[in-house]
Chain A
Amino acid sequence: MELLLQQIANGLSLGMAYALVALGLTLVFGVLHVVNFAHGEFYMLGALVTVLVVKSLGLPYIVALLIAIVLVSAVAWVMDIVAVSPVARKPGGDQIVLVSTYAAGLIIVETVLAAIGPTPIAVSGFSGIVHFGSVVLTMHRVFMFAAGIVMICGLYMLFTRTNFGRSLRAVAQSDYAAKVVGIDVERIKTLTFVLAGGIAGLAGGLIAPIITFNATMGLHAGIHAFVVVVIGSMGSIPGAVVCGLSLGMIESVLSIFLGQHVAATLIYSLLLVTLFVRPQGLFQGALR
């Protein structure tokens, strides 16, 4: 029982990383109506920047995390200019973006591999442990979960209390109606893409001390984010959060009984079952 509770607690922090990566992916789908195949690479870049800033510049972890958010947002902005906006506007652009973002993702991974190499790099986060009854968590896992909660609450406030948030939700519901009321739709889409990149960068920076950076970590995260987003309904923010946390817990618990690979196989099977039984996902409805 104690082991089960421990794994659930571990899974919650892992699930928070999945939730944050999936949040960005679902935001982009909900507002831009495209799937960003390079989204996992933003997560990897977040981890990379965090590792490099701490290891090479000797700056504190929390500063590295903030730098990671800013730099990955900047990379997302460049990717939007180069591989998303010009392509998405063309007829059938939503499908072409699949290929253009996939290509952009490959370029990012290969560039990182060429520059850093395939060797994993570890970095320290917050040290210390926290006891919750019989459950023991590292301070970093607690921080990661708390940071995720703060980010999710911040996003909720942003979407419901600000002009930008209202405009973003308006674009998600109807490009045409948003244009009619004078919203600069293209600007909102670009800002959404940048925001999604920044959230993924944060997730990567948060996870780096737990799973160790490597240049291909974005692929695994990207696939998990897709699973979360599809099961939680494409474009649904509550779906991304709830399913991200749930997936983390399920994977963590299953892995102690069945091993990591069988757990992953079962997760992907869950994706197939969802597509057959409830193809619209569990939290039907686009970003609102």
Chain B
Amino acid sequence: MLELRDLSLNYGSIPAVRGLTVRVGPGEVVALIGANGAGKTSTLKAVLGLENAKGSVVLDGVALDKLPTPARVLAGISLSPEGRHVFPQMSVEENLLLGLTARTRPQAGSLTQEMYALFPRLYERASQKAGSLSGGEQQMLAIARALMSSPKLLMLDEPTLGLAPIIVSQLRVIIGTLKARGTSVLLAEQNAEMALACTDRAYVLENGKVAKEGLSRELSQDPAVRAAYLGLGEGDEE
């Protein structure tokens, strides 16, 4: 599915991602966890071609390095960005339609209905301007918009940021639903507890490098990870 090989990205002279190698298998849900500034968002931007990076981004065996962002979206990568970035003055439905690509445009009607089935709240708000939605609803919209391109890989960047715990629980359910549908997911998340609870594998990023990787359930028991990212000591119970 997705392979990042020796991916590096600098902002001027400041390195944000340093020689990152990451793999996401078909139907797999993988987390990138780490503190603010660890390189999670930069990695996702590099994958979508929003930032120029060195190294290689390979999707289903095809190198995407020379392709601009629209071609990468068409190839099957989609991003729900940090901060949602919905189009505030456009309706929920128009936002969804903007998620279509040349490949999925003929199925606009069925995909829109599919998203309304997945996110019933959006159906209720279909004609409402996206800027008037709550933070949780905007997050749902950003994810639904990303799914309108029927991506092979959905990238979610900090989807729980600033959301109430009940919305975070809903997001976990949605990620589970996406996994059941066979969509591969790459989740960048500061909320390590949530990320490790709903993913198959995870990479712990520190200063733009992979500090640890492994099965999420094993990493959630790792003393160093528990102390650094879950706020738990060795003897503490979750």
Contacts and interface: CB of A to CB of B under 8 A. Distances in A.
B149 A182 contact: yes
Contact of A167 (B72, B88, B98): B98
A110 interface: no
Given A163-B105, A174-B85, A176-B85, A181 B99 contact: yes
Counting contact residues on chain B (CB < 8 A from A), the size range is 20 to 34
Q: Classify the secondary structure of A's interface with B.
A: helix
Interface in A174-214: 174, 176-184
B50 A166 contact: no
Contact of B73 (A173, A174, A182, A288): A182
B98 A173 contact: no
Contact of A174 (B79, B87, B94): B87
B87 A170 contact: yes
A202 to B, nearest CB: 27
Given A180-B50, A180-B81, A181-B145, A288 B89 contact: yes
A170 B88 contact: no
A141 interface: no
Contacts of A179: 50, 69
A161 to B, nearest CB: 11
A166 B85 contact: no
A169 interface: yes
Given A166-B94, A170-B98, A182 B69 contact: yes
A184 B73 CA distance: 11
Nearest to A287: B89
Interface in A71-119: none
B2 interface: no
B61 to A, nearest CB: 21
Interface of B: 48, 50, 68-70, 72-74, 79, 81, 85-90, 94, 97-101, 105, 145-146, 149
9 contacts: A174-B87, A176-B50, A180-B50, A180-B69, A180-B81, A181-B73, A182-B73, A182-B101, A288-B89
Given A176-B85, A285-B89, 6 more contacts: A180-B48, A180-B81, A181-B98, A181-B146, A181-B149, A184-B70
